[in-house]
Amino acid sequence: MKRVLLKLSGEALAGDNKTGFHEATVLEVAGQVKQIVDKGMEVGVVIGGGNFWRGRTSENMDRTKADQIGMLATVMNCIYVSEIFRSVGLQTQVMTPFVCGGFAKLYTKDEAVKGLEQGVVTFFAGGTGHPYFSTDTATVLRAIEIEADGILLAKSIDGVYDSDPQVNKNAKKYDEIAIQDVIHQKLAVVDMTASILCMENNMPMLVFGLNEPNSIVNTVNGNFNGTKVTV
């Protein structure tokens, strides 16, 4: 793979803190991304907002407004993680699908690809810019747009299971599974909209646990114990 879209779970970045950021975790991620960028890989990044906001659990506000708060949570995440990446020597840019003043650049495919080709780690913040679409959907959408070779899905769980391993201790983990089976079995890898986008646009995913040692580097080198989602 030459160009990848790395999806980071907001909860995973929070570590044991459960909210906000666990800086040691983010520094570990930054060090791994620097290793693969130094070897010539082009990296885009999407970060979820769950370490700050899960508006869908609130019944006391309009869904559109709740999702807008979630979009802003992802902007905060990307600005923070971008700065940690810079501290280890990476070049970064943060792009959003809506105007954020001086905080971020307005997203266009041409500018994103130009940065990636120059070795700039490009953060895609703000989701799709629209309510009712998750950061899963934004991940797949941006991966398709920038013509990534695949998605690296770094989660708090180490792969795809036939049921929730946090609930069912006998849940079976898949080494490899087709996206069509993910959709048919309604497995919670990414949401249904994102899964269908992957299927229709032949976008493969590698799903792995972010908190496993050297997991990002191992994954891009083909040496990982997560789940390969084929198309």
> What does the pLDDT read at residue 29?
95
Which pLDDT band holds residue 155 (cuts at 50, 70, 90)? confident
- The number of beta carbons lying within 10 Å of the beta carbon of residue 126 is 27
Three-state SS annotation for 118-155: CCCEEEECCCCCCCCCCHHHHHHHHHHHCCCCEEEEEE
- The yes-or-no verdict on residue 115 having pLDDT over 70 is yes
Average of per-residue pLDDT values in the chain: 93
Name the nearest CA neighbour of 77 among 127, 129, 116. 127
What's the CA gap between 143 and 148, in Å, rounded?
5
Q: How many residues would you count in the chain?
A: 231
Residue labelled with tokens 């044991």: 16
> What does the pLDDT read at residue 212?
87
Q: What is the dihedral of CA 30, 34, 40, 44, to 10 degrees?
A: 20
Per-residue pLDDT averaged across 123-131, rounded?
97
What's the CA gap between 161 and 159, in Å, rounded?
7
Coil vs helix vs strand at 94: strand
Per-residue pLDDT averaged across 189-206, rounded?
95
- The number of beta carbons lying within 10 Å of the beta carbon of residue 71 is 24
Coil vs helix vs strand at 229: strand
Per-residue pLDDT averaged across 146-152, rounded?
98
Per-residue pLDDT averaged across 151-159, rounded?
91
> What does the pLDDT read at residue 58?
67
What's the CA gap between 162 and 107, in Å, rounded?
36
Assigned token pair, 6:
């790395």
What's the CA gap between 103 and 49, in Å, rounded?
17
Top mean-pLDDT range of 18-22, 145-149, 166-170, 208-212: 145-149
pLDDT in tens, 54-107: 766 667 888 899 999 999 999 999 999 999 999 999 999 999 999 999 999 999
- The yes-or-no verdict on residue 192 having pLDDT over 90 is yes
pLDDT in tens, 12-62: 888 777 788 889 999 999 999 999 999 999 999 999 998 888 766 667 888
Backbone CA torsion sign across 104, 140, 6, 119: negative
Q: What is the dihedral of CA 206, 219, 22, 137, to 10 degrees?
A: -20
Q: Which amino acid is at 38?
A: D
Q: Which amino acid is at 102?
A: G
- Conformational region of residue 96, where left means phi above 0, alpha means psi within -120 to 50, and beta covers everything else: beta
- The yes-or-no verdict on residue 130 having pLDDT over 70 is yes
> What does the pLDDT read at residue 56?
64
Backbone CA torsion sign across 55, 208, 91, 146: negative
- The yes-or-no verdict on residue 208 having pLDDT over 70 is yes
Coil vs helix vs strand at 18: coil
